[in-house]
Structure formats: C-alpha cells, structure tokens
Amino acid sequence: MKKFLSIRLIWFLVLSGFLFNTCKKEGKFDLFPLKTGNEFYYKYNKESHPGPTVYTIGTETWKVVDESEEGNNIKYTIERRLNAKISLGGYTYVTKVISDSIQYLEILEDKKTALISFLNITFKRYQSVSQIEINQGGQYDIEGWSYLFKTDSGMTKYNYYHRPNQITIESLHLDSITTIQ
C-alpha cells in the first residue's frame, strides 16, 4: 500500500510540474523561439556617413549554439555570422568582402517571469498578442532603435541609427527561420 501511494505521489508531482510549466505558456504567443539549433536568416544593410557613404549589404545568420542555466536565468548563446559586401558611395566598386565574420551574442531569460534581456531591451517572451514592437526614437544626438518580434519567428525586424557626427543606419529583416522541434 505504501509503495502504491509513493508511486502515485511521484506521478502527481511530475504531472503537477508539467502542468505548471504548460499553464505559464497556455494561451500565450512565443515571441522568440529560443532553442539550441534554431537558426534565423536575415537580410543585412548598413549605411555610414558623413563623407562618402559606405554601404554594407549581405546576410546575417543567428544560430542558437548553447543553452545553459545560470541561477534564475537561462542563458542562450547566439552565433552571429555575417556575409556581406562593402561598397563606397553606392558604386559597384567593392572595397571589401566580409566572409563568415562571427560574433557571439548572449540572451538571458528569467526562468520565473520569462523576461528576455539582450542588447538594450527587455520584454516578456510569452504574450497575449502575436507581435510587439519595441522602440526608442532618436533625435539629434540620441541614438534610435526599433525591434519587431512575431509569434514563432522571433525578431523579424531591427533598425538602428546613430547621430550626429557619424550617421549610421543598420537594419536586419528576417528572411526565414529553421526551428528544431
């Protein structure tokens, strides 16, 4: 009889934990599907001036290469791979080719609240709306940026600009995504 109760108690605890995790996400949209192996493919554009305008045009791939727990957070390591051409003044003259330039980005998710933090933003991963836009309008000497997140697609659009001495306009637009089930 005790063995039967022990098995039922263990089964109840396992099921309760599963239901608790499911309830946290039930009825909510996942605005940033972060899982090791997921890949996000972006069209990349960057424009810098004063002086002759320098254009960087290409593709950037974000791949979730690691997921680890650190205290109350889950840390996702993103490999950013850029392939692009740099041209001067809009001419077809190519001054440089960027091939497989790799940088790493860390994204933190609070395990209890599902708040995601990276770059200069924080937002809830699971929301009752299917998309959100987070932005800061820039003026004169204040940088400006905008992010758009959509259900099961993650960051679909990013724009950044900086003034006054060096004007930089940078953007990423989601082309496609590959997710691991």
Cα 116 to Cα 18: distance, rounded to the nearest angstrom: 22
Do 18 and 89 fall into the same domain?
no
Q: Do 127 and 161 fall into the same domain?
A: yes
Q: Look at the chain and report how many structural domains it folds into.
A: 2
- Each residue's pLDDT, cut to its tens digit, for the chain (181 residues) gives 555 445 554 444 444 443 334 334 668 999 999 999 999 999 999 998 877 788 999 999 999 999 999 999 999 999 999 999 988 876 666 678 889 899 999 999 999 999 999 988 999 999 999 999 999 876 666 778 899 999 989 999 999 888 766 678 899 999 999 998 7
- Six-digit token pair at 166? 């060096």
Strands (E), 115-164: 115-118, 121-124, 126-127, 131-136, 144-150, 154-162
Question: Does 44 lie in the same domain as 23?
Answer: no
Cα gap 96→80, rounded to integer Å: 19
Are 47 and 24 in the same domain? no
State the residue range of the domain holding 18.
1-28
Are 76 and 64 a contacting pair, CB within 8 Å? yes
Q: Is 0.75 surpassed by the pTM of this model?
A: yes
In this structure, the answer to whether residues 21 and 67 fall within a common structural domain is no
Residues 70 and 146 in one domain: yes
Q: Tell me which residue of 127, 96, 113 sits closest to 26, measured CA to CA.
A: 127
Residue 66 and residue 7 in one domain: no
Q: Are residues 2 and 80 in the same domain?
A: no
Instruction: Output the pLDDT for position 12.
Output: 44
Same domain for 95 and 19 = no
**152-167 burial code (b ≥16 CB/10 A, e <16):** ebbbbebbbebeeeee
Helix and strand element counts for the chain (H, E): 1, 12
Co-location of 137 and 125 in the same domain: yes
Q: Quick one: pLDDT at residue 30?
A: 95
| Residue listed under structure tokens 């940078």 | 170
User: Could you tell me if residue 46 is left (phi over 0), alpha (psi between -120 and 50 degrees) or otherwise beta?
Assistant: beta
If asked whether residues 70 and 4 sit together in one domain, one would say: no
Same domain, yes or no: 18 and 47: no
